[in-house]
């Protein structure tokens, strides 16, 4: 599982990269972070139109598991938070007409070590 940073989602002045999400999850578990509810409007996320709601990945997406956002990370919408994990769960949450999404919040300095150049 990787968060791909290419095109509009590429960091300015950096090569195309990915973030290794399993390692980010290990950090979250190590720090024993607790998820919080954020207004969806303050989260930048990649397009949701490409998600097929009839496919298994969407169907089994469990909204009880928090997504992962990074505060202050560059994004094409200049929002405070950038979603790096949980698009299917976010879409399911939005389709349930909810305005908030449960997430773990990390800082850019927390994930710098998880970048991998493509």
Q: Tokens for 64?
A: 């009880």
What pLDDT is recorded for position 1? 87
2-117 CATH fold:
3.90.1530
Sheet-wide strand order for 67-71 = 36-39, 100-107, 67-71, 81-85, 43-44
Q: What is the predicted pLDDT for the residue at 45?
A: 97
Each residue's pLDDT tens digit, 100-118: 999 999 999 999 999 999 8
Query: For 69-88, what is the mean pLDDT?
Result: 97
Q: For residue 101, give every residue at least 6 positions away whose Cβ sits within 8 Å of its Cβ, in sequence order, or none.
A: 37, 38, 40, 43, 67, 86, 89, 90, 93
pLDDT given for residue 69 in this prediction: 98
Q: Is the pLDDT of residue 12 over 90?
A: yes
DSSP three-state, residue 15: coil
pLDDT of 56: 94
The pLDDT tens digits of the residues spanning 17-59 come to: 999 999 999 999 999 999 999 999 999 999 998 999 999 999 9
Structure tokens at 82: 């950038």
């Amino acid at each position: 599982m990787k968060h791909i940073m290419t095109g509009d989602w590429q960091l300015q002045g950096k090569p195309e990269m990915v973030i290794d999400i399993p390692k980010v999850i290990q950090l979250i578990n190590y720090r024993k972070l607790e998820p919080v509810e954020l207004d969806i409007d303050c989260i930048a996320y990649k397009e949701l139109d490409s998600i097929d709601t009839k496919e298994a990945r969407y169907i089994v997406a469990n909204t009880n598991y928090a997504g992962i956002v990074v505060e202050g990370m560059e994004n094409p919408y200049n929002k405070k938070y950038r979603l790096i994990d949980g698009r299917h769960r976010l879409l399911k949450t939005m389709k349930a007409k909810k305005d908030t999404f449960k997430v773990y919040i990390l800082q850019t300095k927390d994930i710098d070590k998880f970048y991998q150049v493509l």
